Amino acid sequence: MPKRLLLIGPFPEPITGNSLSNKIVFEGFNGKPDFKVKRVNTSLNFFDENVGSFSFRKLIQSIKHNLQCYKVAFTDIVYITPGQTFFGILKYGLFIALAKLSMKRIIIHIHGNHLHKSYSNFSPSKKGIAKFILGKADKGIVLSESLIPNLTPFLNNNQIHVVYNFVEEFLVQNTAEMIRQKSLKTLNIIYLSNLMEEKGILDLLEALKIMEKKGIPYEARIAGHIDIKTKTKVESYIEALKDVHYMGVLRGEDKKDLLLWGNVFVFPSYYLMEGQPISLLEAMSTGNLILTTDHAGISDIFTDEVNGLYIDKKSPEDIVLKLEKIRNEQEYHNAMLYENYKFASKNFSTEAFINNLETVFKYDLE
C-alpha cells in the first residue's frame, strides 16, 4: 500500500531555493507508486526580503495556512521545510504538534545556515518553544555537512541526514557539446537569483559600473525577482549601465538559454538564510565559471581555483579584480567551464536528490 506523504512548506510563486526544492520533491514523489502525495503551500502571496520577520500580514496568511492542518490526519509521513527564525518555526508548530499526537512520522528539512545562529540569540522562553517544536521531529535533513549544526540543538546526530541540492534535468540535456565550445574570450556575466541586497546584487552592479569606467568590455544579464526595498537602486544602475540588461524572472528554456549564454556567474551573497544555492549549481551545470563568497554551505560544493574564484563580501572592488584576472588569464580559466559542467551534472541530479530523500523516508519507517 502506498505511503501517504504530506509536504508542508512554500511552493512557487515566488521562486526561491526552498520553494523550487519543494516543487521538485512533490513532482518526484508524485510519480512514485510507493507514495501518495499531498501538500500544504505556505508561500506568501508577496515577495519580502525580510524573510522570517514578523508582520500582521504574514500572521494572517499563516493562520489561513494552518486551517489546512486537518490534512495531517490523513497521512503517514509529514515532511516540513520550516523557517530559520522564531516566527518561521512557530508557524509550523500546529502541524508538528498534531502530527506527533496522531503518531505520524515527522521529517524536517532545513534550507539554510541561519537556524543555529537565530536559536543562540533567542530568549530562554523562545528557546524552549523552538526546541519543543523542532525536537518533535523523527528525522532532520540539511543540505551539506557544514550545515549539520543547525539541527544539533534539537535532534541527536543519528537523526540528522545530509541530502545535497540538485540541478533540474532539463538544464543539462543535450548541452555537452555546446558547453565544450564555450570560452572566456568575452565576459558574458550573469546573475540569476532574487535581487536582494544581501544576495549582493548592488555589489555586482557597482562592480560593473567600475568596469565600465575603466573601459573593460563585458556584457551582463541579470534575472530574478526584484525586492521592493532595492527596486529603485537596481533600476537606477541598470538604466545607467549600457551593457547590463535586466531579463525579468526566467523559467524553463528561457533560464536555460541565459545560463548557456553566460560564462561567468557572479554570486556575491552574504544572505543570512543562505544554505546551498541551487542557482550556483545550475550555473556550474551549464558551463559557467563561478565567482562567489565563502558563505553558508557554499564551501561544501565549491572549491576555489577549481570551480572558480572566491570574492570578498560586500566588495565591488574585489569582484572587478577577479573579473580582470579571468580576462587576463583566459586560457587557464577556460578549462573550468567544462569541468564545472561535468562536476555538477554528475553529482547533483534531481534523480539522486529524490532517491536520497526516499532513503531517509523509508529508513524512518523501519
> What are the Cα distances from residue 35, in Å, to 3, 19, 26, 75, 362?
5, 20, 10, 10, 11
Q: What is the pLDDT of residue 14?
A: 86
Q: What is the pLDDT of residue 87?
A: 93
Are 291 and 268 within 8 A, CB to CB?
yes
Domains of the chain (ranges plus CATH)?
3-166+349-364 (3.40.50.2000), 169-347 (3.40.50.2000)
Q: What is the pLDDT of residue 59?
A: 79
Are 99 and 106 within 8 A, CB to CB?
yes
User: Which amino acid type is present at position 206?
Assistant: E
Site of grid cell 496522531: 102
Q: Which three cell numbers stand for residue 85?
A: 527564525
> What are the Cα distances from residue 27, in Å, to 32, 69, 339, 357, 358?
9, 22, 29, 13, 13
pLDDT digits (tens, 9 = 90+) for 39-63: 999 998 655 555 555 567 777 888 8
> What are the Cα distances from residue 220, in Å, to 50, 55, 233, 300?
27, 36, 17, 27
What is the H or E stretch that residue 308 is in?
strand 308-310
Q: Which three cell numbers stand for residue 6?
A: 504530506
pLDDT per residue of the chain (366 residues) written in tens, 0 to 9: 899 999 999 999 888 899 999 999 999 999 899 999 999 999 986 555 555 555 677 778 888 999 999 999 999 999 999 999 999 999 999 999 999 999 999 999 999 999 999 999 999 999 999 999 999 999 999 999 999 999 999 999 999 999 999 999 999 999 999 999 999 999 999 999 999 999 999 999 999 999 999 999 999 999 999 999 999 999 999 999 999 999 999 999 999 999 999 999 999 999 999 999 999 999 999 999 999 999 999 999 999 999 999 999 999 999 999 999 999 999 999 999 999 999 999 999 999 999 999 999 987 455
Angle, vertex CA 104, rays to CA 98 and CA 107, nearest 5: 95
Q: What is the 3-state secondary structure (H, E, C) of 87-142?
A: HHHHCCHHHHHHHHHCCCEEEEECCCCCHHHHHHHCCHHHHHHHHHHHCCCCEEEE
Are 150 and 273 within 8 A, CB to CB?
no
Q: What is the pLDDT of residue 306?
A: 98
Are 308 and 352 within 8 A, CB to CB?
no
